[in-house]
């Protein structure tokens, strides 16, 4: 029964005795039957007095299961050569075979993985000062063990395979190993030269195990070809550098934001940081960087963009840290949780467009004035002349007051026509190198009289070393007079107007500052537009004339206004010959 248990049966079913050919027919796997029959015949025909043999083959159990067994047989013969005893054991080795098969498969997979991963194992024998390599190791170097040999000294390895510029690394590694205590694990990256001449990069993983006395018991490791990885990492770094360089070249603020307004990443060019005051980053929320109205507007766009997947564009016009700004906000969905917010400062573009529109209106008015000015002036001159002539007649002596009123109105009409003509962009100007301070000092007495009559004052703060400018003196006088008279009219009793000049690089600034109540918000956008005035009896042409004069001098006008007063700044370019 102990024998038959291997075959899933028993003596009661099979009997105690069985001929070899019956055993083969009943239990031996058909594919192994011939092998078993040959081995039985060899065993029985052997003339050796004491014979021992071993055979592995498959069997088919009574339950149909195929198993592997190991048969150990012993034969004893007498002096005459006749078999006196034949006995043995059958052992079920199915589990052992399955383990061997699994181990073999594992080794094949490991070998294949090492080949695919370009990994070559090795071991160093300190007592012989030799590395032990195999074909998997040499495959990394484009060769094999048959050509190179199983063993190689460190010096030969350095000479045969390491890149000359990296050879020093081996000596450093050995020095570190000898200086270390206990178990030592390290990684070393260096270049090699394969047998085909290709330069590759490998990563050496090694481990040192020492005994209690610090003696090296085992030193082993593996070399892995990481050339593609190194090349990919280098390409990635280069790509990131190009990407960052591109982003840094962009003038826009970029934010990667989730649906809750949390900042996942952001990039703000240096020129924008003054908008936000002192840098206190890193920031976590969009509202920590941007003003609340702007952050709220951006968050609403993020929700709409992520929800629909559509790119959205809007504009924001308002204060940012005290600066009036005109911004374009663009949002694009990254995925269903994040969006990219691009904020572009279009303040200068907005001002330039506004300036172009204003200049177009000025040019239109100037063109009209140039076309009709002379036609209107000629009859006015005639009328004025006859009024003066008639006012001297004795019979009109009682109407002198009315004649003077009519003549005054004609003079005022003529002055308005002169202002119209000053708006023309084609008006001839005579630009000559002039000192702006000299012009200001020349007209200061006239301005001071105006201020004195209004119980106000004018102070000069002129920088002495400013460069010469290309100026038409008559036009610059008109520009200064218009600015100063506007400032005087904007200030209360005992008000003060300051006229300054400052150098700024190659340019010169003319600054006219008052301490009035500021320009009403309702007309700020229309400053410089013809017929726009805050005065009850103003023509709205004074500042328009100033803008036209500035344009003919290649100068720009800017202003700042608040409840504490208004400052006009005219920036003149330096004379071309200076």
pLDDT of 511 > 90? The answer is yes
Higher pLDDT pick, 205 / 268: 205
Across 410-435, average pLDDT: 72
Place of tokens 């291997």: 6
Higher pLDDT pick, 534 / 176: 176
Q: Tell me, what's the pLDDT at 400?
A: 82
What span, in angstroms and rounded, lies between the C-alpha atoms of 150 and 131?
8
Q: Tell me, what's the pLDDT at 240?
A: 83
Higher pLDDT pick, 577 / 306: 306
SS3 381: helix
- The answer to whether the CB of 341 falls within 8 A of the CB of 255 is yes
Q: Choose among 331, 295, 327: nearest CA to 313.
A: 331
**Exposed e or buried b per residue across 46-74, where buried means at least 16 C-beta atoms within 10 angstroms of its C-beta:** eeeeebeeebebbbbbeeeeebbbebebe
Q: Tell me, what's the pLDDT at 202?
A: 92
What span, in angstroms and rounded, lies between the C-alpha atoms of 463 and 470?
18
Q: Tell me, what's the pLDDT at 419?
A: 62
Residue 531 DSSP class: T
pLDDT, tens digit (0-9, with 9 covering 90-100), for 275-327: 665 555 677 888 887 778 888 888 888 888 888 888 899 888 877 766 677 88
Helix (H) or strand (E) holding 573: strand 565-573
Q: Tell me, what's the pLDDT at 323?
A: 67
Residue 28 DSSP class: B
Q: Tell me, what's the pLDDT at 108?
A: 66
Query: How many CB atoms lie under 10 A from the CB of residue 418?
Result: 15
Burial-class residue 421 by CB neighbours within 10 Å (0-12, 13-18, 19+). middle
pLDDT of 214 > 80? The answer is yes
Across 503-512, average pLDDT: 90
Higher pLDDT pick, 400 / 112: 400
**Per the structure block, which two tokens stand in for 299?**
């968050």
> Which strands make up the sheet holding 312-320, listed edge to edge?
263-267, 253-258, 338-345, 323-333, 312-320
C-alpha to C-alpha distances, 443 to 171, 394, 479, 485, nearest whole angstrom: 87, 41, 11, 12
* Total residues found in the chain within this entry: 578
The chain-wide mean pLDDT, for the chain, equals 84
Burial-class residue 291 by CB neighbours within 10 Å (0-12, 13-18, 19+). middle
**Candidate from 187-191, 340-344, 375-379, 542-546 with smallest mean pLDDT:** 375-379
The sign one gets for the Cα dihedral 78, 80, 84, 88 is positive
Band (482; pLDDT cuts 50, 70, 90): confident
- The answer to whether the CB of 576 falls within 8 A of the CB of 510 is no
**Per the structure block, which two tokens stand in for 150?**
């199983």
Strands (E), 435-487: 457-462, 469-471
DSSP string, 490-524: HS-TT-EEEEEEEEETTEEEEEEEE-S----HHHH
pTM here?
A: 0.41
Q: Tell me, what's the pLDDT at 46?
A: 81
Q: Which residues pair with 255 in a beta bridge?
A: 266, 341
């Amino acid at each position: 029964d102990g024998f038959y248990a291997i075959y899933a049966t028993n003596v009661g079913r099979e009997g105690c005795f069985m001929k070899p050919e019956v055993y083969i027919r009943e239990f031996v796997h058909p594919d192994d039957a011939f092998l078993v029959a040959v081995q039985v015949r060899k065993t029985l025909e052997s003339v050796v007095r004491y014979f021992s043999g071993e055979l592995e083959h498959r069997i088919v159990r009574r339950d149909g299961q195929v198993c592997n067994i190991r048969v150990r047989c012993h034969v004893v013969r007498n002096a005459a050569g006749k078999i006196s005893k034949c006995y043995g054991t059958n052992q079920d080795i199915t589990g052992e075979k399955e383990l061997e098969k699994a181990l073999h498969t594992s080794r094949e997979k490991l070998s294949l993985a090492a080949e695919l991963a370009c990994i070559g194992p090795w071991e160093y024998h300190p007592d012989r000062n030799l590395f032990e390599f195999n074909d998997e190791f040499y495959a990394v170097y484009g060769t094999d063990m048959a050509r190179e040999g199983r063993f190689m000294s460190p010096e030969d390895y350095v000479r045969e395979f390491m890149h000359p510029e990296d050879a020093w690394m081996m000596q450093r590694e050995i020095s570190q190993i000898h200086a270390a205590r206990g178990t030592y694990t390290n990684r070393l990256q260096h270049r090699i030269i394969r047998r085909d001449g290709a330069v590759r990069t490998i990563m050496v993983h090694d481990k040192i195990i020492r005994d209690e006395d610090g003696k090296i018991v085992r030193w082993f490791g593996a070399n892995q070809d990481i050339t593609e990885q190194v090349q990919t990492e280098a390409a990635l770094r280069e790509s990131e550098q190009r990407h960052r360089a591109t982003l840094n070249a962009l003038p826009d603020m970029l934010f990667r934001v989730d649906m809750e307004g949390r900042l996942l990443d952001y990039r703000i060019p240096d020129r924008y940081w003054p908008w936000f005051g002192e840098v206190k980053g890193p920031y976590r929320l969009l509202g920590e960087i941007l003003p609340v109205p702007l952050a709220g507007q951006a968050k609403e766009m993020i929700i709409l963009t992520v929800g629909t997947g559509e790119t959205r564009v809007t504009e924001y016009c308002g204060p940012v840290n005290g600066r009036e700004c005109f911004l374009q906000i663009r949002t694009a969905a990254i995925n269903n949780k994040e969006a990219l917010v691009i904020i572009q400062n279009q303040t200068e573009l907005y001002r330039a467009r506004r300036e172009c529109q204003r200049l177009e209106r000025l040019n239109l008015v100037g063109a009209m004035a140039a076309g009709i000015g002379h036609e209107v002036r000629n009859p006015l001159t005639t009328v004025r002349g006859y009024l003066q002539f008639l006012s001297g007649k004795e019979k009109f002596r009682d109407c002198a007051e009315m004649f003077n009123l009519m003549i005054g109105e004609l003079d005022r009409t003529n002055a308005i026509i002169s202002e119209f003509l000053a708006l023309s962009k084609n008006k001839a100007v005579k630009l000559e190198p002039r000192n702006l301070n000299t012009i200001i000092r020349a007209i200061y007495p006239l301005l001071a009289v105006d201020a004195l009559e209004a119980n106000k004052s004018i102070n000069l703060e002129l920088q002495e070393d400013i460069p010469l400018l290309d100026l038409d003196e008559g036009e610059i006088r008109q520009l200064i007079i218009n600015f100063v008279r506007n400032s005087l009219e904007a200030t209360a009793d005992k008000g003060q107007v300051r006229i300054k000049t400052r150098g700024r690089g190659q340019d010169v600034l003319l600054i006219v500052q008052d301490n009035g109540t500021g320009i009403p918000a309702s007309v700020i956008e229309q400053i410089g537009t013809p017929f726009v005035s805050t005065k009850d009896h103003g023509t709205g042409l004074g500042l328009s004339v100033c803008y036209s004069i500035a344009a003919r001098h290649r100068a720009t006008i800017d202003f700042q206004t608040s409840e504490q007063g208004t400052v006009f700044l005219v920036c003149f370019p330096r004379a071309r010959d200076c």
